[in-house]
Chain A
Amino acid sequence: EPEVTQTPSHQVTQMGQEVILRCVPISNHLYFYWYRQILGQKVEFLVSFYNNEISEKSEIFDDQFSVERPDGSNFTLKIRSTKLEDSAMYFCASSDTGTGVYEQYFGPGTRLTVT
């Protein structure tokens, strides 16, 4: 069964550093998303991406965040200058344009620890 993959599984960085989280969505999917989950809290939407541009973004997704699809397979989330409160699990997801059931397929997540 096709799956979304994410790398790295765990990233430790110092406050103020830039990080790039990588995702490989399911190959025939055209919609891509990033969510985050702070430990013990809800899964929160960050951004959706379609046709090489951002479709929707939440208040969390401020100027410190950016997304990119640098090639035909990868989808990245960059945090320009990390803060302690960016420590969370970051989940990438993808979905197709099919009719019928609408579901998003989530990756296993990257645990980001900012020290």
Chain B
Amino acid sequence: LAKTTQPISMDSYEGQEVNITCSHNNIATNDYITWYQQFPSQGPRFIIQGYKTKVTNEVASLFIPADRKSSTLSLPRVSLSDTAVYYCLVGGHNAGNMLTFGGGTRLMVKP
């Protein structure tokens, strides 16, 4: 299972773009990269998933370089409500695959 490394915490201000980078040097060919968000006392919530290059949805963008050994979650114009823990997960893409969470990045958005 590919190990992931991401910053323990980050601070930002409202309206700024936030980029959280995750390292996954041992990513396997079949692995996808997925990001989840978790608010205090709530279950994790899926944000975005990708395999290579760039993926964008209404919430975030995910940038994956050609070697796939890292990825960057980009949150445009964060608000106070984006304060949460963000998890980078690397693993299988098939229904039934377990999710392996690391420590995540605790993002604090300040006014």
Contacts and interface: CB of A to CB of B under 8 A. Distances in A.
Contacts of A35: 99
Residue with the highest number of chain B CB atoms closer than 10 Å, among A31, A33, A103, A111: A103
Contacts of B104: 42
Q: Interface on chain B toward A: helix, strand, loop, or mixed SS?
A: loop
24 contacts: A42-B102, A42-B103, A43-B44, A44-B101, A48-B98, A56-B96, A58-B98, A93-B99, A95-B95, A96-B95, A98-B95, A102-B32, A102-B34, A102-B93, A102-B94, A102-B95, A102-B97, A103-B34, A104-B46, A104-B99, A106-B44, A106-B45, A108-B42, A109-B43
Interface string B83-108: 00001000011111111111110000
A31 B97 CA distance: 9
Interface string A76-112: 0000000000000101010111100111111111010
B87 to A, nearest CB: 8
Given A42-B102, A102-B49, A103-B34, A109 B96 contact: no
A55 interface: yes
Q: Interface on chain A toward B: helix, strand, loop, or mixed SS?
A: strand
A98 B103 CA distance: 28
Contacts, number: 62
A45 B99 contact: yes
Contacts of A56: 96, 98
A109 B40 CA distance: 11
B14 to A, nearest CB: 26
